[in-house]
Structure 1
Amino acid sequence: MTDPSARRDLLRGRFTATAVPRPPGALAGLAFGEACTGCGDCARACGAAIILCDGEGLPVVDMREGGCTFCGDCTRACPTGALMPGAPWPWRAEAGPACLDANGIQCRACEDFCDAAAIRFRPMIGGRARPVIDPETCTGCGACVAPCPAGAISLSPLTSEIRPC
């Protein structure tokens, strides 16, 4: 289980709880939930105002209003060590089926806002194009989330591939 509130979800009968993006530098797994006091210092330090509190009082990153600059202000403001500098950001952008371009309506707003140039559009039959996001180039900053008029872009956690021995 990777989400800090996963244990609480399991005990409450929510077996399909999804991971939520915590601020950059968040400790992995249950360690974050144990270290974070929910003081809100990280949210107050965030110049982009994208850190909010979830139902458990823990910080979550909400890219609907803008993207993360990875400035580190939230990490430096954390008094408990729940956010560690230099920890990797395990989230990447993902385009869903509501994408206007994939449905025949010219848009490409996400591509315009991607400073990392991680979003490209692959032509499809019928004059449509579908967004392809390069997970190696994408930083997961979320700058593409807010400008998407269809709400088709979201952040997804990176998953490590598990192979049998």
Structure 2
Amino acid sequence: MGDIRSPSRRALLFGRLPAEPLSIALRPPWAKPEPEFLAACTHCDACVRACPEQVLVRGADGLPRFEARAGECTFCGDCVAACDSGAFEAARDPPWTLVAQVATTCLSAQGVVCASCRDVCPTSAIRVAPGARGAATVDLDTCTGCGACVAPCPVDAITVQHAPAMEAVA
């Protein structure tokens, strides 16, 4: 499933497992690589407040993160413009390495006709076989990782992950 950390041996032995796996936070578009971003970000929330789509939220670590369930990132650049700390690289294209990933719980994979993810994809990166003959597929070269497909999925079968992590899973 990608960037998932395992519980410690001690937590495992004593049955103290997290309710959900701990995943690495998805940073805003154009955020510098994690070590540089962590050093530069001042936790001011300027980027979170500037996001017109409200898909940037303050994470548990106090840093901004992208929340795909909240909607679609339109890559407007308002988060970058609002940041005075130098935590972003505005000139980088693409803005991040995120792409959509479809789980086996996809309704179409279960024989149920559904194309809610395909219908909302702004880049037409999602394909669904006619007649529910297999799970939706994502064209990784076309997908921008905007998250538009995440919230509409009725069974939460779609997530947004970093592309390199997905290649390791495949």
TM-score, length of structure 1 as denominator length: 0.82
For the 8 Å contact 2:103–2:157, the answer to whether it is kept is yes
Shift, 1:82, TM fit? 0.5
Shift, 1:86, TM fit? 2.7
Q: Which structure has greater helix proportion? A: 2
State whether structure 2 residue 84 is matched by structure 1 residue 79: yes
2:117 corresponds to which of 110, 121, 131:
110
Q: What CA deviation, in whole Å up to 9, does each residue of 1:52-93 have, x standing for no partner?
A: 111110000001121000000001101101022132311000
Partner of 1:93: 100
Question: Map of 1:100-139 to 2, 5 A cutoff?
Answer: 100-122=107-129, 128-139=133-144
For the 8 Å contact 1:96–1:153, the answer to whether it is kept is yes
For the 8 Å contact 1:114–1:143, the answer to whether it is kept is yes
Instruction: Find the residue that maps to 1:70 and give its secondary structure.
Output: coil
User: Structure 1 CA distance, aligned partners of 2:60 and 2:73?
Assistant: 22
Instruction: Find the residue that maps to 2:145 and give its secondary structure.
Output: coil
User: Structure 1 CA distance, aligned partners of 2:120 and 2:56?
Assistant: 20
TM-score, length of structure 2 as denominator length: 0.80
Instruction: Find the residue that maps to 1:145 and give its secondary structure.
Output: coil
Shift, 1:123, TM fit? 6.1
Q: CA RMSD in A?
A: 2.5
Shift, 1:129, TM fit? 2.2
Instruction: Structure 1: state its 5+ residue gaps.
Output: none
% of aligned pairs identical? 42
Read off the aligned partner of 1:135 and give its amino acid letter: L
State whether structure 2 residue 75 is matched by structure 1 residue 70: yes
Aligned length: 151
Partner of 2:37: 32
Question: Map of 1:33-48 to 2, 5 A cutoff?
Answer: 33-48=38-53
Partner of 2:15: none
Instruction: Structure 2: state its 5+ residue gaps.
Output: 12-20
